[in-house]
Amino acid sequence: MARLNFGGVEENVVTREEFPLEKAREVLKDETIAIIGYGVQGPGQSLNLRDNGFNVIIGQRKNSKTWDKAIEDGWVPGETLFEIEEAAERATIIQYLLSDAGQMAMWPTIKEKLTPGKALYFSHGFGITYNDKTGIVPPEDIDVILVAPKGSGTSLRRLFVEGKGLNSSYAIHQDASGRAHERVVALGIGVGSGYLFETDFKREVYSDLTGERGILMGALAGVFEAQYNVLREHGHSPSEAFNETVEELTQSLMPLVAENGMDWMYANTSTTAQRGALDWRHKFREATKPVFDELYESVSSGKEAEIVISRNAEDDYRQKLDAELQEIRESELWQAGQQVRKLRPENS
């Protein structure tokens, strides 16, 4: 295990070099890995594991869209594709990749299949961290582990196919077998992680919920809307406002940040852009820090978990969600985006 030092703060990380795929296969050679759920993370993780040579089966409800998708992806009913109960029965490692609401609903069924020595694997710490609300309390004689890719299952699969990897966190909640560490690291390598960094279930879910509501989705969407609206209010066209707000960021600047860091991106823009960005970054940091403080408190107190659970339990939740997404989709901002994307060279 490597140790990274960030200004005196040390972290444990595992790389492919020190834990190669061959070692991961050896660790899990006698294991049957059941992917329960074929929605957001299930396809990417299962296909990567299969392509990497692991013994993988899928557990999914028959006659559902995701059952049909699994068949399209090459999983064979009765051989590698089973009803959830049978897949969980056959498995020595259950990768519990249903939605948080789905995990709560299916938990009584899954718990029955958790015989001594098995491993229960999560890619999100929600169910365990908020178990007073979810009811997910695993038996003490199994391993409880986590690998959380830092991106969507689609990205995990795309990068794998390109020969790359998506960074993931890993955690151990229970080590009943004495093999939890090698199991979780082998699975992390198997699903296609670029490298693995250590965390725990609570920190994973706190950072994840904060990130989703913050810079990754909530804050990003809100800032997009604010800047776009200001430009439109001052007479800029939809195309100009969208390009200056979204297109240049996503197509030009963020790839530079991803490759070389914000300082490098600043150093390779005009002096006018540099000066303005360096000055205004302080204003945006100070303006948004109180919002992020409020957000983190809402996450760590369990308030956000309560909102998620209660909203998902509403009979008309799906209809309300569709209406909210439609509002975004039909806004001028994202209608402009549809038109601008058609004009990209690869779409010409």
State the catalytic residues: 124
Looking at residue 251, what DSSP letter applies? I
Distance CA 27, CA 20 (A): 11
Q: Which long-range contacts (CB under 8 A, 24 or more apart) does 340-345 make?
A: 340/239, 340/242, 340/243, 340/247, 344/251
Q: How many Cβ atoms from other residues are within 10 Å of residue 170's Cβ?
A: 23
Query: Does residue 96 contact residue 187 with C-beta atoms inside 8 Å?
Result: no
Find the helix or strand (DSSP H, E) in which 240 lies.
helix 238-242
Query: Does residue 172 contact residue 201 with C-beta atoms inside 8 Å?
Result: no
Helical axes 303-312 vs 271-300, angle rounded to 10°: 80
Residue type, position 178, single letter: G
Burial label for 186, CB within 10 Å (0-12, 13-18, 19+), is buried
Residue type, position 288, single letter: T
Distance CA 235, CA 160 (A): 44
Beta bridge partners of 172: 145
For every residue of 326-345, DSSP letters joined together read HHHHTSHHHHHHHHHHHTSG
Distance CA 93, CA 298 (A): 33
Q: What are phi and psi of 119, to 5 degrees?
A: -125, 135
Closest to 49 in 3D by CA, of 77, 75, 71: 75
Question: By three-state DSSP, how is residue 175 classified?
Answer: coil
